[in-house]
Chain A
Amino acid sequence: MENNRTPILELKDVKTYFRVPRGVLKAVNGVSLTIYKGETVGLVGESGCGKSTLGKTIMRLYRPDEGQVLFEGKDIWSYRKKEKKEYTKNVQMIFQDPYACLDPLSVVSDIVAEGMKIHKMYSKAELENRVLELLGMVGLNRDHASRFPHEFSGGQRQRIGIARALSLEPKLIVCDEPISALDVSIQAQVVNLLKRLQKEMGLSYLFVTHDLSMVRQISNRIAVMYLGSLVEIADSEDIYSKNYHPYTRALLSAIPIADPAVERERKRILLQGDVPSPVNLPEGCNFCNRCPYAGEECRKKKPELRQMEPGHLVACHRAGKI
Chain B
Amino acid sequence: MENKKILEVRDLVVSFDTFQGSVQAVRGVSWYLNRKETIAIVGESGCGKTVTIQTVVGLNPKKNGSVKGGEVLFEGKNLLDLTPKQMRKVQGNQLSIIFQDPFTYLNPTMTVGEQIMEPYLQHHAVSREEARQKAIEILKLISLPSPEENMKRYPHQLSGGMRQRIMIAMALICSPRIVFADEPTTALDVTIQAQIIELMNSLKEKIDTSIVLITHDMGVVANMADRIYVMYAGQIVEHGDSDTVFHRPKHPYTWGLLNSVPRLDKKVADDLYSIPGTPPDLIEPPKGCAFAARCPYAMNICRTSQPPRIEFEEKEHYASCWLNHPECIRRRGPVRREGASDGK
Contacts and interface: CB of A to CB of B under 8 A. Distances in A.
A274 B268 contact: no
Contacts of B304: none
A155 interface: yes
Interface residues of A, number: 46
B160 interface: yes
B278 A47 contact: no
Contact of A270 (B194, B243, B247, B273): B194
A260 B246 contact: yes
Contacts of A189: 274, 276
Nearest to A214: B262
Given A191-B272, A274-B161, A254 B190 contact: yes
B257 A270 contact: no
B220 A188 contact: no
Interface in A146-167: 153-156
Given A212-B190, A257-B219, A260-B243, A188 B264 contact: no
A304 B263 CA distance: 31
Given A183-B45, A240-B264, A259 B271 contact: no
Interface in A232-289: 236-237, 240, 250-263, 268, 270-271, 273-275
Contacts of B136: none
Nearest to A215: B262
Contacts of B225: 260
A216 B256 contact: no
B326 to A, nearest CB: 29
A156 B277 CA distance: 10
A260 B194 CA distance: 15
Contacts, number: 129
B2 interface: no
Contact of B190 (A46, A261, A262, A274): A46
A252 B194 CA distance: 11
Given A47-B160, A188-B274, A252 B264 contact: yes
B198 A187 contact: no
Contacts of B275: 185, 188
A306 interface: no
B273 A255 contact: no
Nearest to A182: B45
Given A46-B189, A210-B190, A256-B222, A184 B260 contact: yes
B217 interface: yes
A63 interface: no
Contacts of B190: 46, 210-212, 251, 254-255
Most buried by A among B219, B242, B256: B219
A189 B294 CA distance: 13
Contacts of B261: 184, 213, 258
B44 interface: yes
Interface residues of B, number: 47
A237 B267 CA distance: 9
B59 to A, nearest CB: 23
B165 to A, nearest CB: 11
B223 interface: yes
A265 B218 CA distance: 17
A185 B291 CA distance: 14
Contacts of B256: 185
A270 B223 contact: no
Interface in B213-228: 216-223, 225
A78 to B, nearest CB: 37
Contacts of A191: 272
B169 interface: no
B217 A192 contact: no
B191 A184 contact: no
A50 B271 CA distance: 30
A250 B191 contact: yes
Interface in B190-240: 190-195, 197-198, 216-223, 225
Given A185-B44, A217-B268, A270-B198, A259 B263 contact: yes
A188 B273 contact: yes
B222 A263 contact: yes
A183 B216 contact: yes
A216 B268 contact: yes
16 contacts: A46-B189, A153-B278, A186-B44, A188-B274, A189-B274, A189-B276, A213-B261, A213-B264, A217-B268, A217-B269, A254-B190, A256-B219, A256-B220, A259-B246, A259-B263, A262-B265
Interface of A: 46-47, 153-156, 183-189, 191-192, 195, 210-214, 216-217, 236-237, 240, 250-263, 268, 270-271, 273-275
Given A213-B262, A236-B268, A274-B161, 18 more contacts: A46-B191, A46-B192, A47-B189, A186-B274, A188-B260, A213-B219, A216-B268, A217-B262, A217-B272, A254-B190, A254-B193, A256-B193, A256-B197, A257-B219, A259-B246, A270-B194, A270-B195, A270-B198
